[in-house]
Chains A and B, each alone.
Chain A
Amino acid sequence: MAATDSLPVIDLHDVTKTYQTGSLSVQAVRGVTLSIAPGEYVAIMGPSGSGKSTLMHILGCLDPLTTGSYRLAGQDVSRMSDDELAEVRNRRIGFVFQQYNLLPSLPAWRNVELPMCYAGVRRDERRARAIDALGRVGLADRVMHRPGELSGGQQQRVAIARALVTDPALILADEPTGNLDSTATADVLALFDELHRSGRTIVLITHEADVAHRAGRVVRVRDGLIETDRDQAGALS
């Protein structure tokens, strides 16, 4: 893949994150430098408390970093205001959460259209794109179903459709299979493989080795630092 000469999607340089709780300050990320090129499928692994969740929040522009710099798709997001960050999240990042985080009162397509509501896309276009995205994750016949009427795997696929629908530079998945049984896990991972093949940049946070194994590159985090960062032989590329 000729990704080396194009701009990296993620460019972290010596990033730290310190949490201040009262007089106690905890350094969750202690100087991480990481570059992810377009089209890469990267798994970030690490035990709980390793700082991988904090890293994910920083990558997702959900939490500001303390020092260092972060360029997302060429844009410096480390000094942005709340509203600018909201726009970056809206346009550049598609989130997939462990808990799916669907709004239970809305049918599948209304959940999928949600990011476009904040992007100011017209209603008829939103609907068309939402239904199209649901088709791409294999849920064309579940458009009007509410989350409660769907299985866990189906709910997670709705969430993936929601992450895809704005055509973001980065899909950020936080333990996407953590709540799923093995069949649903296989379904969801197959979907990620397919997205990867179609050229999407995916960053997946997990602590399960067999999930990480599907990615082309595995970054291991421990004590707020990158421990290892290696390409996997035999992985899809």
Chain B
Amino acid sequence: MSWLETLRTGLGAVLSHRLRSGLTMLGILIGIAAVILTVGFGEGAQGQVSSEINDLGSNLLVVSPGSTTATTGIRGGFGSASTLTEADATALASKTVAPDIAAVAPATSRSETLTAASTNWTTTVVGTTPDWLSVRARSVTEGRFLTQADENTDAAVAVLGATTAEELFGLRDPIGQTVTVNDLPLTVIGVLNTVGASASSSTTNLDDQAVVPMTTVANRIFGGTTRTSVQSIYIEATSSNALSAAYQEATAELLRLHQVSAADADFTIQSQQSLLSTATSVDKTLTELLAGIAAISLLVGGIGVMNIMLVSVTERVREIGLRKALGATQRAIRRQFLVEASVLGLAGGVLGAGIGLAGAVVLPHLISNPITISPIATVGAIVVAIGIGIIFGVYPATRAARLAPIDALRGE
């Protein structure tokens, strides 16, 4: 019996028990759709986190107060101490101390409410120095950025993110307008370029912030400890190759300035890479867990196929006997049932992939998570579905093939 003929027979058998075949396929279908969606969710979340971290600026190192011991767990409160100062930043900016550091920007931020005429908007106010612009790889689309003169004079000026400017001033030109923070009127002198809002969390929306000179923030807005310490220091390495050199120079200089040994370091320096791997490893673990659960549902679906194939073999004992009497070899019978099982697997796989893909298109509109469809995962899932059909079909098919023709003919 040719393959085409076997396929036709198998399809006929599947179609003649529509409800049963449909329910069997459902098991595979749900498993495949779940695998595609969970992998898509995971990859989507990872992609989102990496793009957010990449948005931080290239060649970037971030110094935070407190310390962590990267491989063995957290030591000291991460960010709990306020040990970084503007003097640290100034020292790191020195070309003689750290030749691989291109620019340094200390920063302190806090959530504040900005008021412009009758509109108010709560956003992140960032106090920093003029170098912030190059360190964070940003630019201004309108007006100008902070200058050293603004810094020296505690100037009451602000550069707004595109979203912030739009929320406060709508379509009006924000340049020259006044926004009030903690009763201090600030003149808007520029608008930052748009880097794209990150969908996941409003706290990291890089288009929604107000950048104000460090000295102004410390002396006239936040006050308190911000006069003496900064929340973080952003360091830009001269190139991505110089990143680890810059890391070592910054570490050595800060240890020297703070007069502590490396074991007692009261600061943490993280590169984009380490942020990236920390952030994505969580997502990765979650994805693997979910994909594992989805794989189990696929396994259950496969057992469903086996179950139905066994029922089918038992039910069709007479048919098997007849086919053998008419000249079917063991191989022909085995092939017939294997094809039936793989048709079930294939149909479930294709439908499941279809539903998974449809879900990947529809779901992001309902929940705010992106789903990345990987073609490899989709094709892989279909192949796995056929594989499951075959693997779980082997035993029933072999049983059918081994039936003795007379026993099969006598069977009810």
Contacts and interface: CB of A to CB of B under 8 A. Distances in A.
Given A101-B322, A105-B12, A118-B1, A91 B406 contact: no
Nearest to B405: A62
Nearest to B327: A90
Contacts of A103: 319, 322
A90 B326 contact: yes
B330 A119 contact: no
Given A82-B330, A89-B327, A117 B5 contact: yes
Interface residues of B, number: 24
Contacts of B13: 105
Contact of B326 (A63, A106, A115): A115
Interface range, A side: 20 to 34
Interface string A39-80: 000000000000000000100101100000000000000000
Interface in B189-214: none
Majority DSSP secondary structure for residues of A touching B: helix
A162 to B, nearest CB: 8
Contacts of A115: 326-327
Contacts of A62: 324-325, 405-406, 409
A63 B325 contact: no
A83 interface: yes
A127 B244 CA distance: 77
Interface of A: 57, 60, 62-63, 82-83, 86-87, 89-91, 95, 97, 99, 101, 103, 105-106, 114-115, 117-120, 123, 162
A195 to B, nearest CB: 18
B327 A97 contact: no
B327 A91 contact: yes
Nearest to B324: A86
Contacts of A162: 326
17 contacts: A57-B406, A62-B405, A62-B406, A63-B406, A87-B327, A89-B326, A89-B327, A90-B327, A97-B409, A101-B321, A103-B319, A105-B13, A106-B12, A115-B326, A118-B326, A118-B329, A123-B5
Contacts of A97: 322, 409
Given A101-B322, A103-B319, A83 B330 contact: yes
Most buried by A among B13, B329, B330: B329
A119 B326 CA distance: 9
Interface string B1-44: 11001000000110010000000000000000000000000000
B91 interface: no
Interface in B291-335: 318-319, 321-332
A162 B253 CA distance: 95
Given A62-B405, A117-B1, 4 more contacts: A86-B329, A118-B326, A118-B328, A123-B5
Contacts of B321: 101
